[in-house]
Amino acid sequence: MSQAWWRGAAIYQVYLRSFADGNGDGVGDLAGLRGRLPYLKDLGVDAIWLNPWYPSPMADGGYDVADYRGIEPVFGTLEEAERFIADAHELGIKVIIDVVPNHSSTESAWFKEALTAPETRERFWFRDEPNDWQSIFGGPAWTQVADGQWYLHLFAPEQPDFNWDSPEVHADFENVLRFWFERGVDGFRVDSAALLFKDAERWEDLDPVHDVYRRWREIADEYGDRILIGEVWLPDQERFARYLRPDELHTAFNFDFLSCPWEPAELRRVIELTLATHTPIGAPPTWVLSNHDVTRPVTRYGRADTTFAHGGALHGTPSDPELGTRRARAAALLAMALPGCVYVYQGEELGLPEVEDLPDAARQDPMYARSGGANRGRDGCRVPLPWSGESAPFGFGGHPTWLPQPADWAPMTAKAQTGDPGSMLSLYRTALRLRHELLGDGTLTWLPMGPRVLAFTRDSGLTCVTNLGPDPVPLPPGEILLASGPLTGDRILQDTTAWLI
């Protein structure tokens, strides 16, 4: 089936700040993560992707990196990171870390030097006059420094953009990749991968970016079996596919699938388009339902409008948790049955909802402040995980947690869900185990079951059927391996996925 591990991997995303707190300060850390590695082993994931763990003032949750060769002290130490990599490897779990090449932090040594020694400003985008670009987080994309010049930041003012026309920037990032490859990491998730180059008119998807990834690919290949995953938000599939040519990035996140409404024709269109984009270039597709930037699926799928779009316009619109959970379960089995890699964002396997009623004073996402509160931001999917117990911090670690947890999360804890055959956690555990045996990379063959049903078989003989229509539908012949919800006899009900062999 799959040749290289990454072609069919199930990759679990750890948002370190909110995963598990080992030292009791209310913030997740490496000690907490190391302690919970057996949980991830039991869950059945092949790799972990960690959001940035570098020293950072946390103006954007660590995506404002002050030092690419260190570990944020709140998370631990470099030695601990190395021990974590070794522990994960011992359990057969690969480790992927984030690299943030588009921008750094105003607290980085280079930016501080740029302020005091203007001749070094070449590494960033300093100009005498700003243009009219707006920051992706809201507000102008330029900030003025004391001597009158302006620097570019596509995100928060604390995140100055690098100038990729500077050879020093290239050399430094190549060294950063080597630094971590030598410490055993198995790959990098490349943040904002399409943004690196800018010209007078455009700040996205300029051609020279591909030369950077060709060089990075050579470096990754030198170390053997290491991978590069792109965060590439581009609506044009042809442009997107260019990042996945055989000598560039290995894979990229499928944001079309994540943003797709729970609607059969749209889902089928996105799945087919994804396969059509990836197959000719030989890159495995990826299937993503959530991450640290988007509304949790249980909440999204419980709304009348099940799409996702940045901007947060749907925040707080009514959501039916029962419906959302039913659909999220069906979506998970659908995603896991498709050819390629699947991502699981921490807490997705617990069926956590988006926490939409966080007190405003607790909100930390710069999107919230920069939009003057119009965009409620991404904190609601970043709330510390509930592990056990009846009240906050639900076994997370110290209290108070850096974002408050809802008081009613006792039934959502990993402990409460363990051993309950009907829980989201049990569904994910079973599905990931079966997926490991029967699925991964390869092809699919659609089965004609009507316009409201998505049904296909895989090379292993597994059939996946998702019914999105109101009428119960007879299942094709075969033994039922797993279903996301109850079946009536041989019929599959609305918003349910079944796997058969």
Positions touching ligand GLC (CB under 6 A) are 60, 63, 100, 155, 191-192, 231, 292-293
Q: Please report how close the Cβ of residue 371 comes to ligand GLC at its closest, in angstroms.
A: 13
The two tokens of residue 295 are 């509304």
Catalytic residue among 222, 272, 437, 490: 222
Least Cα distance to 317 among 303, 332, 306 occurs for 303
State how far the Cα of 395 lies from the Cα of 465, in Å rounded to an integer: 37
Least Cα distance to 367 among 160, 155, 195, 192 occurs for 155
> Looking at beta carbons only, is 31 or 136 nearer to ligand GLC?
136
Contact 379, 399 (CB under 8 A): no
Q: Please report how close the Cβ of residue 100 comes to ligand GLC at its closest, in angstroms.
A: 6
Q: Please report how close the Cβ of residue 157 comes to ligand GLC at its closest, in angstroms.
A: 13
> Looking at beta carbons only, is 287 or 456 nearer to ligand GLC?
287
Least Cα distance to 29 among 60, 69, 72 occurs for 72
Which residue is closest to ligand GLC by CB?
Answer: 63
- Name residue 488's amino acid: T
Q: Please report how close the Cβ of residue 492 comes to ligand GLC at its closest, in angstroms.
A: 35
Catalytic residue among 161, 191, 248, 354: 191
State how far the Cα of 464 lies from the Cα of 338, in Å rounded to an integer: 9
161: DSSP letter: B
Least Cα distance to 459 among 360, 338, 342 occurs for 338
- 3-class secondary structure, 129: coil
Q: Please report how close the Cβ of residue 231 comes to ligand GLC at its closest, in angstroms.
A: 6
Q: Please report how close the Cβ of residue 155 comes to ligand GLC at its closest, in angstroms.
A: 5
Strand partners, 342: 10, 287
**Residue 219 Cα to chain centre, angstroms:** 24
Contacting residues for 24 by C-beta, under 8 A, at least 6 apart: 397, 398
385: DSSP letter: P
Q: Please report how close the Cβ of residue 292 comes to ligand GLC at its closest, in angstroms.
A: 6
- Cα distances (angstroms) measured from residue 176 to each of 101, 165, 167, 172, 192: 10, 18, 14, 6, 17
Q: Please report how close the Cβ of residue 65 comes to ligand GLC at its closest, in angstroms.
A: 9
The two tokens of residue 280 are 């000719």
322 is catalytic: no
State how far the Cα of 460 lies from the Cα of 36, in Å rounded to an integer: 32
> Looking at beta carbons only, is 293 or 348 nearer to ligand GLC?
293
Contact 445, 416 (CB under 8 A): no
> Looking at beta carbons only, is 160 or 339 nearer to ligand GLC?
160
Element (H, E) at 337: helix 321-337
Least Cα distance to 192 among 258, 252, 248 occurs for 252
> Looking at beta carbons only, is 143 or 192 nearer to ligand GLC?
192
222 is catalytic: yes
> Looking at beta carbons only, is 137 or 150 nearer to ligand GLC?
137
Q: Between 424-438 and 321-337, two packed helices, what is the crossing angle to 10 degrees? A: 10
> Looking at beta carbons only, is 15 or 150 nearer to ligand GLC?
15
**Residue 280 Cα to chain centre, angstroms:** 25
> Looking at beta carbons only, is 47 or 468 nearer to ligand GLC?
47
The residues assigned a catalytic role are 191, 222
